Amino acid sequence: MPARFFPADPARLHLVLMLMLTFSTGVIDAVGYLGLDRVFTANMTGNVVILGMALMGGDNLPVLGPVVALAGFMVGALISGRTLRTVPSGWAHRTTGLLAGVGVVMAAVAIALLSGVTPRNNEPLTVAITGVLAVAMGVQAATARHLNVKDVSTVVVTSTITGLAADSRFGAGTHPFWSRRIAAVGLIMAGAAVGTGLLQIHLGLGVLVTALITLFVALVGRNAVTRRDAAAPAVDPGARVVSG
């Protein structure tokens, strides 16, 4: 089982899994920005900035794509929030289901692209793919947020870089979580580099890699939850508590 090669401690396991998703976010954002008309499907800060410049006519920037991405991302986050609203913070079976759903959706998009569906010079198809990927990334981001891994949101590293600098030896001097912060920044950058390289081969490859990583993360998380439940002491429903 893949979980055997990952930390047994839930906090460390969640950190490793969220760092993997951070890398995959870099991949999919490179694919989106370079292959889907300069639109981010995960980094909504970038879309807000692009949209603001586009509304003022800046450099023929897209308007519809960022709007669709923003709306789709919010829908995805809403779906995740609604699904997890009664679930305590941490990994649960619903977490697995949400991330598996993200992986399946992205795999379907990748297969369609690799099968010959091409959004080039087809704005409606480009916008549709952007929307689908944005919904998936919204689900991922909100699910990662529910896991509450400090300084690893999987979709943005601005606050991570802020904390890294502000808490460094030359700042506040506390420097907590410095290793995970550096890892998050490096992995999202590495993911973007890999996504750009894959885009030179085929648009669908970056989406496929992201799908496979997400499905793998869901599988490892599911195995961890299964082992945790199996190790939990059984409760006899017929047992009576005697006081006094």
Looking at domain 2-227, its CATH architecture is Up-down Bundle (1.20)
Buried/exposed code over 54-81 (b: 16+ C-beta within 10 A; e: otherwise): beeeeeebbebbbbbbbebbeebbebbe
CA distance 163 to 177: 9
CA distance 62 to 207: 21
E strands, 3-134, are: none
| Residue for token pair 């929307």 | 131
Q: Which amino acid is at 85?
A: R
Taking every pair of C-alpha atoms in the chain, what is the biggest distance, in angstroms?
78
Q: Note down pLDDT in tens along the chain; length 244 residues.
A: 454 566 667 788 899 999 999 999 999 999 999 998 889 999 999 999 999 999 888 778 889 999 999 999 999 999 999 999 999 888 899 999 999 999 999 999 999 999 988 887 788 999 999 999 999 999 999 999 999 887 788 888 888 888 888 888 778 777 677 888 899 999 999 999 999 999 999 999 999 999 999 999 999 998 887 877 777 665 445 555 444 3
Q: Which amino acid is at 174?
A: T
